Amino acid sequence: MQVNKIPEQRLIEKIRQLVPEQVVLVENFIDSLSEQNEDYNLTLAATKLSEPTLQKIWDNPEDAEYDQL
């Protein structure tokens, strides 16, 4: 296997050498990575959407003393 091949080609070659049961494991692993990315993106989007509302709660004169801690 050549070192200069793009990662996708190297992975495809390695997957082709696996038995079918192992291919299923690889596919499941890839699916779990995709789900993690989706979860992260959802959390990030929810955080960004809630920032304006939370900013109003956090930045108020009554709590200004806590900013100095």
* pLDDT: which is higher, 7 or 69: 7
Tens of pLDDT, residue by residue over 27-61, are: 999 999 999 989 899 999 999 999 888 887 777 77
- Confidence at residue 11, expressed as pLDDT on a 0 to 100 scale: 92
Is the pLDDT at 1 greater than 50, yes or no? no
Q: How far out from the chain centre does Cα 68 lie?
A: 35
What's the CA gap between 61 and 28, in Å, rounded?
51
- Confidence at residue 17, expressed as pLDDT on a 0 to 100 scale: 97
What's the CA gap between 48 and 17, in Å, rounded?
44
Q: The tokens of 41 are what?
A: 């993106």
Work out whether the CA dihedral 57, 59, 62, 65 comes out positive or negative: positive
